[in-house]
Structures are given as structure tokens and as C-alpha cells.
Amino acid sequence: MRKNAALLVAVLFCLAGCFSASPDKKYYEIHLEPGPAAEPFAKSLLIDRIDIDSLYDDFRIIYRVSPFEINYYAYHFWADKPSKLLRDSIIHYLEAARLFPRIIPEPVRGSADWVLRCTIHQIEEVDAPAAWFARLSMRLEIAELKSGTILASRRFDRQEPLSKKDVAEVPAVLSRILAEELGALLAEVKGK
């Protein structure tokens, strides 16, 4: 009888653990603030789909504790896959900046003067003992759609510190990095 009672208590504790309140899931977006108004281009721009390794194109936010080990947060997620989040953010950024008379969000050949191509190599949090960092490694390029001539290209791998050890800081830092690099790419095109 005592064994059955002890077994029943153990089962109840296990079930209570399974149905206990878990931390709230949190979802994050990338949001780019356009810089100061600039002279618009007289060209239409196609935003091509973003290339990304499937490891990083996941709703789960990756954090790295060493060059050899990655982990996924259990309760912190991207609101959409990073390829879509960054592409949508870039489109909104360019529309808000009013730099192009027409931005074409769907990859349709022959429908624009220029094309913006993006490749995401890494989008993650990097945890070091002293500080945490947001890391964004990408290639951005603007090319003439018909000829394929590259007008501007940027390859960057930036790791910026978070103000505190909190995953909620990652989206803001990544957003700032992407806005700065996109601004630099557009300035490079202006300079030609």
C-alpha cells in the first residue's frame, strides 16, 4: 500500500511539472529606421529574395557560446523566418526613405532597372563571459538588372555588444547594423 501511495505521489509530481506554467514565449522583429532624407534615384529597384543557410532561417533565435557550438532559445523566437523579416524590413526602409520611384517586392525578371541582392551568412547572438553580442554577417549588392553590372557591393561581418545580457536586445542591435550597412551601400551607389 505504501509503495502504491509513493508511486501515486511521484506520478502526481511529474504531471504537475508537465502542466506547470512555463515562461511566456517572446517574438521579435527587425525594424530599420531610415536615415536623413537623401536625393532619390531615378531608377526602379527589384528586391530579390534573400539567400540564407537553412541553419539560420529558423524561427528560433540562435545563440553561440563558442565557435563550435550553437544553441536555440526555447522561449525567444523571430516573428517570422529571418530571410522574410530582413527582406520585409529592407522594403519598408526603402519605401519610407523614398529613394526609388518604384520598389518591386516580388522577383519578376525585366520589371526593374536595378536589383538588390542579399545573402545572410550569420544572424545570431554571441555569448562571451564578459558581454553578449549581436552578430550579422551579410553580403549586399545592387546591380543593373539587364546587364548584371554590379553598381555597389558590401560584405560585412559585424559583432556589436548588447547593452546588457538579454536576448531582447539582439533585434535592436541587428536592426541598427543592417540600417547602417544598407545606408553605406546606397551611398556607394550615389558616389558613382
Q: Does residue 6 lie in a domain region?
A: no
**2, part of any domain:** no
Domain contains 176: yes
Separation between Cα atoms, residue 192 and residue 163, nearest integer Å: 37
pLDDT of residue 6: 46
CA distances from 61 to 70, 135, 142 (A): 10, 12, 28
Domain residues for 33? 23-190
pTM of the model: 0.85
Per-residue pLDDT, averaged over 104-129, amounts to 89
Does some domain include residue 30?
A: yes
51 vs 22, residue with greater confidence: 51
**Residue 4, domain member (yes or no):** no
- Number of domains making up the chain: 1
Residue with cell 526613405: 97
pLDDT in tens, 135-179: 999 999 999 999 999 999 999 999 999 999 999 999 999 999 999
pLDDT at 22: 60
Give mean pLDDT, residues 86-94.
Answer: 95
Tell me what the pLDDT averaged over the chain comes to.
Answer: 88
Place 11 in a pLDDT band, splitting at 50, 70 and 90.
very low
Cβ atoms of 120 and 139 closer than 8 Å:
no
Cα separation, 192 vs 153, whole angstroms: 12
- Residue 39 confidence (pLDDT): 87
* Residue 66 counted as domain residue: yes
Q: Kindly state whether residue 127 falls inside one of the protein's structural domains.
A: yes
- CATH number assigned to the domain comprising residue 64: 3.40.50.10610
Enter the C-alpha cell of residue 84: 522574410
Task: Quick: pLDDT tens for 53-64.
Answer: 999 999 999 999
pLDDT interval class at 111 (50, 70, 90) = confident
Ranges of H-type helices in the chain: 2-19, 82-97, 170-190
Indicate whether 10 belongs to any domain: no
